[in-house]
């Protein structure tokens, strides 16, 4: 393969960036996704914004329930029935026009054409990502034939090629195998091959390393890095594992209870964390250093999603809580360095409160 | 796969032998040997039996000889197609079964087709439109169907039919057609009569199938492979039919074979209420009157059909589900 270059340059040649997207491939703006149930409304994602450029790797990190997976499901519009996007935009640069994925019909033509072809997703459980009664090849070939007008034989060859590329030991035979025949690592690879079968411009990896053991986790990260260098797609890496973020991504966004609390380059966020929550997260990682260093967990528990705290959602657990401010107002995003933003009153925003 | 079928066939041999032993025990169970009770029965009706007949019967079934000789004689004549002689019908058992089998089979097959044709689509609808008005309505109808005994439905059906049309739909043919040679007229007469028993026999099965399909499909629909397929751009219709339905229907396929004995046996009570010429009332009669050759023959046939049906189901399941193929 010679035609594929890494990331940005290849994309920039293809299509001029749309007005207002600053060359971003995907621009999520003030996304709000809520879940409606008998018990009430859960604001799973409550005003999240981020951009991702072609070929870039963005990490989204946070505890369980912070809305990172719901964000990715919102982008592809594969939310469960009771989940709805109630506000915001998801602008995607599709060929030469900009589509707002948030307002398109969830199972309409536009989204179906984008899913799997332009934006693909890797899921947490490789065992259950494939139908147990269809061969992995059946599902890869199906995806290719949905999005490209090729014969069965051609699609088969493409699928074998993709399986070879993700490092399956015997692609010509593996293509006819079922998930229960494959080892955990092979399943992961098959799943990557499935999502990359149409060479998407954006790959969303939703906790791809959570359900596997550490050796396979390392293989997976290496595979993603190789494939990314090879095919040049952008990646959104969703994980609660800050190690994975540090290992793989260029930029990172930290989320807490559906809100973005801090974002910046991995370098900035990991070495100069600003938000008390980010600092807490980093302090709670066990370190492999000689001598015993105490792990410092974040105090308190994640609040009940049906009874969210007012003001800054983190104020109930924050060591730097400013009484009279944090519980009353929502902190705005404040730039602390170029490309490094924090939503916390410690860094300003109070003057705008009057 | 071939090896799998072969292995299953071999396993069937000891089970079949076991069934035949149980069948033999049933024959032996009533006090005295069956020839004595046969004679007693005939004499009670004032018939005189020639001693030659008695002797030939005793010789044929090895009465008075050791039990294993008796068993062997019975089994070998069974295999040769001599199922013995019915005391209450005074006919060879083979003839009785041959007369009744076609109508048993027709009614059961027809009601089975109705069960699948009605049950599966409604089950799918109930699952995909869960908690809709249609789902609730079919749930109510379904529970009523499961809870109502079919013989009660048969009585209600008879009464309604009589109320509305003045006809008494008992049996499969009108009285004047009963002995007519089979032709177009008789066939049309059959069509006019058979729908009621077929529908009634199928009601509980349909209701059960609706519940099963709904539950199976509801289990599959939220599975991740469905979401993944959706995230690949698969169309909503294919998203239902190609993936979850394929798996949800497996238990239905795997029980198809079990229906084989049901096809023959049919519904005892419904057949009695509607006066249907099926095998079921014969089985009941033979058990009540200790007509042991007849009863055992029917039980043997049902037992063997159960075995064959289970084998068929297992083969079907191995064909549709690669996980089973992988495990065998």
Tens-digit pLDDT profile for residues B253-301:
888 887 778 777 767 888 888 888 888 888 888 888 878 788 888 888 8
Q: How far is A174 from chain B (nearest CA, A)?
A: 15
Q: How far is B132 from chain A (nearest CA, A)?
A: 14
Of residues A9 and A183, the one with the higher pLDDT is A183
**Residue among B225, B231, B250 minimizing CB distance to A115:** B231
Of residues A264 and A301, the one with the higher pLDDT is A264
**Rounded Cα–Cα distance for residues A187 and A136 (Å):** 9
The residue ranges of every structural domain in chain A are 1-118+203-215+230-347, 128-199
Residue A180: in which H helix or E strand, if any? none
Chain centroid to CA A285: 21
List, in order of start, the domains of chain B with CATH numbers: 2-93 (no CATH), 104-327 (1.10.3720.10)
Neighboring chain A residues of B235 at a CB cutoff of 8 Å:
112
Residue B309: in which H helix or E strand, if any? helix B292-320
pLDDT value at residue A3: 40
Q: Among A77-86, A257-266, B90-99, B164-173, which stretch is predicted with the lowest mean pLDDT?
A: B164-173
Contact A8, A54 (CB under 8 A): yes
**Rounded Cα–Cα distance for residues B132 and B135 (Å):** 5
Q: Does B131 touch chain A (CB under 8 A)?
A: no
Contact B322 A135 (CB under 8 A): yes
Please name the residue ranges forming H helices in A107-175: 109-114, 126-129, 136-147, 152-165, 171-174
Structure tokens at B79: 């295999």
Strands (E) across A20-74 are located at 26-37, 40-52, 57-61
Q: Among A209-223, B56-70, B88-102, B120-134, which stretch is predicted with the lowest mean pLDDT?
A: B56-70
**Rounded Cα–Cα distance for residues B157 and B169 (Å):** 9
The C-alpha torsion from B121 through B123 and B129 to B132, rounded to 10°, is: 110
Mean pLDDT confidence for A39-46: 92
User: Is it the case that residue B159 has pLDDT exceeding 50?
Assistant: yes
Mean pLDDT confidence for B43-71: 76
Q: What is the ipTM of this complex?
A: 0.84
pLDDT in tens, A56-73: 999 999 888 889 999 999
**Rounded Cα–Cα distance for residues B325 and B308 (Å):** 19
Mean pLDDT confidence for B236-250: 89
Residue range A1-118+203-215+230-347 forms a domain whose CATH class is alpha beta
Chain centroid to CA A165: 23
Mean pLDDT confidence for A249-262: 94
User: Is it the case that residue A205 has pLDDT exceeding 90?
Assistant: yes
Contact A275, A342 (CB under 8 A): yes
Q: How far is B247 from chain A (nearest CA, A)?
A: 7
User: Is it the case that residue B64 has pLDDT exceeding 80?
Assistant: no
Mean pLDDT confidence for B165-185: 72
Q: Does B163 touch chain A (CB under 8 A)?
A: no
pTM of the model: 0.80
**Residue among A78, A132, A142 minimizing CB distance to B230:** A78
């Amino acid at each position: 393969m010679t035609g594929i270059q890494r990331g940005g340059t290849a994309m920039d040649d293809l299509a001029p960036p749309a007005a207002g997207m600053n060359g971003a491939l995907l621009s999520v703006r003030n996304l709000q996704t809520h879940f409606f149930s008998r018990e009430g409304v859960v604001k799973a994602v409550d005003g999240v914004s981020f951009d991702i450029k072609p070929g870039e790797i963005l990490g989204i990190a946070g505890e369980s329930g912070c809305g990172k997976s719901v964000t990715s499901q919102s982008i592809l519009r594969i939310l469960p029935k009771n989940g709805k996007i109630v506000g915001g935009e998801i602008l995607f640069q599709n060929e030469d026009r900009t589509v707002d994925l948030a307002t398109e019909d969830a199972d309409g033509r536009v989204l179906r054409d984008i899913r799997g072809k332009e934006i693909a997703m890797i899921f947490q459980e490789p065992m259950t990502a494939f139908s147990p009664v269809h061969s992995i090849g059946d599902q890869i070939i199906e995806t290719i034939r949905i999005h490209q007008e090729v014969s069965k034989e051609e699609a088969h060859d493409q699928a074998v090629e993709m399986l070879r590329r993700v490092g399956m030991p015997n692609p010509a035979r593996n293509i006819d195998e079922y998930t229960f025949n494959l080892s955990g690592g092979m399943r992961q690879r098959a799943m990557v091959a499935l999502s990359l079968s149409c060479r998407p411009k954006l790959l969303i990896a939703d906790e791809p390393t959570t359900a596997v053991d550490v050796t396979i986790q390392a293989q997976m990260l290496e595979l993603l890095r190789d494939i990314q260098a090879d095919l040049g797609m952008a990646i959104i890496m969703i994980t609660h594992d800050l190690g994975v973020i540090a290992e793989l991504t260029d930029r990172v966004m930290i989320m807490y209870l559906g809100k973005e609390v801090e974002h910046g380059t991995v370098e900035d966020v990991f070495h100069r964390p600003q938000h008390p929550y980010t600092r807490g997260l980093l302090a709670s990682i066990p370190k492999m250093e000689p001598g015993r260093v105490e792990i410092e967990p974040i105090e308190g528990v994640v609040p009940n999603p049906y009874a969210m705290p007012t003001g800054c959602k983190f104020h109930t657990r924050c060591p730097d809580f400013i009484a009279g401010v944090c519980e009353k107002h929502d902190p705005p995003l404040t730039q602390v360095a170029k490309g490094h933003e924090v939503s916390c009153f410690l860094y300003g925003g109070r003057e705008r409160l009057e | 796969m071939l090896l799998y079928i072969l292995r299953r066939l071999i396993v069937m041999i000891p089970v079949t032998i076991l069934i035949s032993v149980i069948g033999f025990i049933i024959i032996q169970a009533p006090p005295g040997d069956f020839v004595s009770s046969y004679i007693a029965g005939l004499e009670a009706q004032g018939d005189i039996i020639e001693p030659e007949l008695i002797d030939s019967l005793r010789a044929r079934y090895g009465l008075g000889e050791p039990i294993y000789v008796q068993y062997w004689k019975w089994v070998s004549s069974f295999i040769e197609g001599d199922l013995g002689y019915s005391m209450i019908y005074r006919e060879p058992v083979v003839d009785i079964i041959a007369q009744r089998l076609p109508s048993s089979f027709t009614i059961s097959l027809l009601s089975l087709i109705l069960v699948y044709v009605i049950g599966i689509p409604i089950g799918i609808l109930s699952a995909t439109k869960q908690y809709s008005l249609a789902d609730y309505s079919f749930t109510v109808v379904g529970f009523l169907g499961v809870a109502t005994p079919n013989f009660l439905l048969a009585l209600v059906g008879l009464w309604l039919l009589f109320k509305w049309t003045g006809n008494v739909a008992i049996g499969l043919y009108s009285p004047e057609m009963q002995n007519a040679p089979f032709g177009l007229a008789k066939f049309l007469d059959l069509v006019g009569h058979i729908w009621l028993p077929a529908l009634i026999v199928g009601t509980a099965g349909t209701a059960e199938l609706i519940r099963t399909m709904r539950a199976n499909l509801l289990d599959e629909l939220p599975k991740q492979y469905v979401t993944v397929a959706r995230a690949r751009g698969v169309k909503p219709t294919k998203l239902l039919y190609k993936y979850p339905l394929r798996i949800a229907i497996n238990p239905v396929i795997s029980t198809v074979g079990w229906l084989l004995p049901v096809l023959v046996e049919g519904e005892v009570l419904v057949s009695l209420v509607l006066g249907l010429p099926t095998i079921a009332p014969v089985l009941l009669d033979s058990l009540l009157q200790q007509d042991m050759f007849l009863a055992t023959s029917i039980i043997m046939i049902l037992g063997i059909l159960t075995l064959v049906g289970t084998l068929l189901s297992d083969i079907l399941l191995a064909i549709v589900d690669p996980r089973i193929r992988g495990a065998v």
